[in-house]
């Protein structure tokens, strides 16, 4: 009797989608970890289990609109994100253009979502680490606005969202998940147009 050969979960994905954050329960739900929250939303929306580990990252393999993807949460601290992301990129044989990085942004209003095909770090230590180790800034990224707040920067980014802010943040996370669907269905240019549309998050 012949058995159906299982599909290896580690076969190269067409996209590596990375959400940035800090590991540990003390950082769960903080503004700086909204990238992790986005990965959770994408995983839930597409029934992808984050049940693998590789190169200091929690991983999930699956498909979005028929396109194979890997979802990743680096378990290094934020300013060491490149130590996890770059080995993943290399092990999957991907180009920087196939790596989508999702992170928080202080300079965007709370709940606003913006996507770019490439760009500078904008002062974000996660992007600084990835760009330095990948030796390029030419990878797409999604920014989720967390607002600047009245506190010192470090206190603000490590604070949790207020109950009245959750509606906007949850809407932003859904918008990011939908943007990833558009990315897989229609490509990067269409995804950027969708992510940045005025009536979006």
Q: What are the pLDDT digits (tens) for 131-156?
A: 999 999 999 999 999 887 666 666 77
Does the pTM exceed 0.85? yes
pLDDT in tens, the chain (201 residues): 444 333 444 468 999 999 999 998 988 988 889 999 999 999 999 999 999 999 999 999 999 999 999 999 999 998 999 999 999 999 999 999 999 999 999 889 999 999 999 987 677 788 899 999 999 999 999 999 988 766 666 677 788 888 888 899 999 999 999 999 999 999 999 999 999 987 655
- From the list 32, 55, 124, 175, the catalytic residue is 32
Is there a contact between 64 and 10 (Cβ–Cβ < 8 Å)?
A: no
CA distance 196 to 42: 18
**Structure confidence at residue 7 (pLDDT):** 40
Q: Collapsing DSSP states into helix, strand and coil, what is residue 80?
A: helix
Per-residue pLDDT reduced to its tens digit, 16-45: 999 999 998 988 988 889 999 999 999 999
**Structure confidence at residue 65 (pLDDT):** 94
Active site residue 32: yes
The encoded tokens of residue 159 equal 């604070």
- Would you identify the CATH topology of the domain 15-195? Rossmann fold (3.40.50)
| 99-105 and 15-19 strand pairing | parallel
């Amino acid at each position: 009797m012949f058995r159906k050969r299982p599909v290896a979960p580690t076969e190269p994905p067409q996209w590596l989608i990375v959400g940035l954050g800090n590991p540990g329960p003390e950082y769960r739900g903080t503004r700086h970890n909204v990238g992790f929250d986005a990965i959770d939303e994408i995983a839930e929306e597409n029934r992808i289990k984050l049940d693998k580990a590789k190169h200091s990252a929690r991983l999930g393999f699956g498909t979005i609109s028929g396109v194979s993807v890997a979802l990743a949460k680096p378990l290094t601290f934020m300013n060491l994100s490149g130590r996890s992301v770059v080995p993943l990129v290399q092990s999957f044989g991907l180009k920087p253009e196939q790596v989508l990085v999702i992170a928080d942004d202080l300079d965007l209003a709370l709940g606003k979502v913006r996507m770019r095909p490439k760009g500078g770090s904008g002062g974000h230590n996660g992007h600084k680490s990835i760009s330095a180790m990948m030796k390029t800034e030419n990878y797409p990224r999604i920014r989720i606005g967390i607002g600047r707040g009245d506190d010192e920067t470090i206190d603000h980014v490590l604070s949790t969202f207020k109950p009245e802010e959750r509606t906007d943040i949850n809407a932003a996370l859904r918008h990011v998940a939908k943007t990833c669907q558009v990315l897989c269905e229609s490509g990067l240019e269409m995804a950027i147009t969708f992510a940045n549309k005025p009536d979006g998050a």
